[in-house]
Structure formats: C-alpha cells, structure tokens
Amino acid sequence: MPPSTAHSIRKFRFNRPQQIAAVLLLMLLAQCLWVVKHQTLSESDYEFARCGREMWEKPSPLAGYFTSCGNIHDGTLAYRAAGLPLTIQRILAGQASSTSTWEMRHEVSYVKLLMRLPFIFAGLALGACIWWVTRRLYGNTGGYIALSLYCFAPPIVRACTYPNNEILAAFGLFAVVYTAIGVAHAMQGPKKKWRPRIVLLTLAFGFTAAAHVSAFLLGLILTIAFMAYVAEGRRAYLPTLAIVWVLGALFLLFASYAFRPDAFSYVFRSESAKMWFSLGQAGALFASLINSGITIAAAGALGLYLAFRRSRYFGNTTPLLVAAFLLLLVTPGVQSEPWLWALPFLLAFIGGVFADVLETRYRKPFLWVTGAIVLAQVSLCVAGLPLL
C-alpha cells in the first residue's frame, strides 16, 4: 500500500463524535422518511419529475422551449434531481422512454420516495458540512449544538421532502463560502495544495449556479470579500481565480441546459438574479411557533456575542454577517427562499457562541440552558411533523 494511501486511512476516524453526528443525521433522515410516507404527490411534484426526465431523456416536444415546463430560469438542478432517479429506474426496469410519470406512479410503488431522495441526500450532506465546519471551528460542543438544531429544524425537514431548488442552493452556498475560506488559508502554504481546493470550489460554484443564479452571485461576492480579508499577501491572485470560477461555473450551468444556447440565454434574459431587501421572510421564520427553540437560541447567541469580547472573532462573525445579509434578502424576479439559505449560517453562529460560553465559568448553568433549548426545539419539530 502506498504511504499516502496508508496515511489517509489512518487519518479517517469514526469515533464517538462522528458516531453522535451520524445518529443525529439518521434522526433527520427518519423525520424526512416519515413526512414523505404521509405525503401525496402534488401537481408540482409531477412538473419537476416530468420536466427533469425530459432534460435527461428527450427534448421538449414544444418548439422553442427547453422542456414542457418552458424555459427554466429558476434553476435546472432541482428538475434534474427529481427526474434522475425515475430515469434510472425506467432504464433498469426496461421501460420505454415514452412511459409517463403518471404511468410510473402506478407501476412503481415508491416513485414518491424516488423523486425526493436527491433532496433528502442534499439535506443530509448539508448537515454533514455544518458538522465538519463547526466542529473544526468550535470543537465537539459547537458541532453538537449546531447539528442538533439543524436536524430538528422544521424548515430543513420540509425543504428535504419535496422537489425544490432551495435546499440545493443552501447546500451549495454554504459549501462555497467555507470552501473559499479554506482556499484562502491554503494560499498561505505551498501552491500544490491550492489546486484541489480551487477545483472543488469551482465545482461548488457550478452546483450553486445550477440551483439558483442569485445564490451563485451571492457566493461569488462573499468569496471575494472573505478571501480578500484572509489571503494576506496573496490578494493579487484573486482576479485570476475569480475569472476561473466564473467561467467554470458558467460552463457547468451551460451543461445543465444540455449545451443548448437558446435555453441557456434565458438565464440572462430573465429576472432570476434580481435582488432586494425585506424583513418579511425573516419575521415569518422567527415568528413561527415550531421554530421557537431556534429563535430563542439566535436571540441568546446575538446577545452573548455582543456581551462577550471573546466571542467576537472571525469564526463567529463570518456566519453572523452572512446570515444577517441573507435573512434580509428577497428575489422579486423569481420565487425563492433566501432565509433558508441563511439558516445553516445562523446555526453555525449559534453553535460557535454557545461553545464559547460553555468554556467559561458559567459552563454548568449554561449547559442546562442549552440542553433545554435544544430539547424544546426537538419537541416542537417532532410535534410539528404532521403539519409539514
């Protein structure tokens, strides 16, 4: 066995912290499966699955349109994700390409689950990213708090259980921001360590662009801002890297439109990237009863951040700034939920601040408070599952 391979195997661990994180993610999976089991297929489900299958299997029969859903401008990724499992199942079962989604509903008993699996997987992958980031930044305690609140956040469970671009954009944007910060840190070292991270970030940009163009633009702005702050002495490389990321993301976005120029051009002719600011969506998030645990935790974390100087550092300030910005954002040109994109950053901020306080002399009483907040959110989420 090559030394590098042996070293990689030795580095991988599945000890108690990883086991606890896996159990929490399994709880999220169980909630998603319960919700899916009690759902019925909607007209929107059929639209995503039908048009996604058209992208994979055959062109639209309507001249001048990418799919029978029209020229997609709110992100092709969710359509492709919903349609891909059905396309694979059809091929494996030897069915004709003319078999409709409605016919598959009667031939495949688990078609409802199939079209939701990619979104459940995206939610689990986002949870794993939150755990990875928060544990590295704040230790096991911060990781447990952030992941616990994430796995029992009703908006996350809801977003994982129907075809939509929001959970995909949330995953992509979170990955873009923290991968960019990782690239900025790597740029302080030898150049051979830059390349794989730069390629990974390019792929993350392409994934995010295919999910939602606004999320891609926001990710690009945040990447340049944070890297300009972190990559001291290496800022001269930023313009070149930005060009690489933009071109790479546009190429992947073009590929998501099957390299069809007419359909791809609609991205630039639509208002999907139009953005404005409003307090409405953030107010709805925090005013919801089933999100009360998250609301209390967010308010407490913000108060502690302002009160304790030790909490005001880059690791905590970054997710706070991104979350605050996204919570105020709306996209009037197309239906989207930027507040959902903000939620992972908000939970990371909560985990970081709470972990800081748990390292002070107030650890014991605050541990009880933290446990009560998490337990309350767990109870509210489980009780609210029938409403999702």
What's the pTM?
A: 0.93
pLDDT of amino acid 60:
60
Boundary residue ending a domain (114, 145, 173): 114
- Please report how many Cα atoms fall inside a 13 Å half-sphere around the Cα of residue 289, on the Cβ side: 7
For residue 60, what is the DSSP state? -
pLDDT in tens, 67-113: 877 777 778 999 999 999 888 887 777 666 655 665 555 555 578 89
> What is the average pLDDT value for the chain, to the nearest integer?
89
pLDDT of amino acid 108:
53
Query: How sure is the predictor about 264, in pLDDT bands with cuts at 50, 70 and 90?
Result: confident
Say if residue 243 is in the same domain as residue 333: yes
Say if residue 305 is in the same domain as residue 210: yes
pLDDT of amino acid 5:
44
Say if residue 250 is in the same domain as residue 340: yes
Say if residue 57 is in the same domain as residue 187: no
Residue 7 lies in a domain: no
Residue 11 lies in a domain: no
Question: Is residue 388 a contact partner of residue 35, using CB atoms and an 8 Å limit?
Answer: yes
Boundary residue ending a domain (92, 114, 136): 114
Nearest to 139 by CA among 314, 17, 16, 226: 17
pLDDT of amino acid 74:
74
Say if residue 31 is in the same domain as residue 50: no
* Cα–Cα distance, 289 to 351 (Å, whole number): 21
Say if residue 155 is in the same domain as residue 178: yes
Nearest to 218 by CA among 362, 326, 145: 326
Say if residue 330 is in the same domain as residue 372: yes
Tokens at 358, concatenated:
């748990």
Q: At CA 187, angle to CA 243 and CA 198, rounded to 5?
A: 45
| Amino acid identity at 117 | L
Q: Is the per-residue pLDDT at 360 higher than 70?
A: yes
Domain that holds residue 230: 18-37+117-387
Residue 13 lies in a domain: no
Residue 343 lies in a domain: yes
Say if residue 103 is in the same domain as residue 210: no
| Amino acid identity at 349 | F
Residue 9 lies in a domain: no
In degrees and rounded to multiples of 5, residue 277 shows phi and psi of -125, 140
Say if residue 144 is in the same domain as residue 86: no
pLDDT of amino acid 99:
59
Query: How sure is the predictor about 199, in pLDDT bands with cuts at 50, 70 and 90?
Result: very high
Residues contacting residue 307 through CB under 8 Å, at least 6 positions apart: none
Query: How sure is the predictor about 2, in pLDDT bands with cuts at 50, 70 and 90?
Result: very low
Q: What is the mean pLDDT of residues 353-373?
A: 94
Say if residue 87 is in the same domain as residue 203: no
Residue 124 lies in a domain: yes
Boundary residue ending a domain (55, 86, 114): 114
Tokens at 322, concatenated:
């991104």
Say if residue 307 is in the same domain as residue 178: yes
Q: Is the per-residue pLDDT at 385 higher than 80?
A: yes
Residues contacting residue 236 through CB under 8 Å, at least 6 positions apart: none
Overall domain count for the chain: 2
pLDDT of amino acid 9:
42
The structure tokens 């409605």 sit at 102
Question: Is residue 257 a contact partner of residue 76, using CB atoms and an 8 Å limit?
Answer: yes
**Burial of 327 per CB tally in 10 Å (0-12, 13-18, 19+):** buried
For residue 330, what is the DSSP state? E
- Percentage of the chain modeled with pLDDT above 90: 62
* Cα–Cα distance, 152 to 347 (Å, whole number): 11
Residue 314 lies in a domain: yes
Tokens at 250, concatenated:
């546009």
The beta strand positions in the chain, using DSSP E, are 276-277, 329-330
Say if residue 107 is in the same domain as residue 219: no
* Cα–Cα distance, 82 to 68 (Å, whole number): 15
Q: Which residue has the higher pLDDT, 349 or 92?
A: 349
Q: Is the per-residue pLDDT at 10 higher than 60?
A: no
Residue 321 lies in a domain: yes
What's the length of the chain? 388
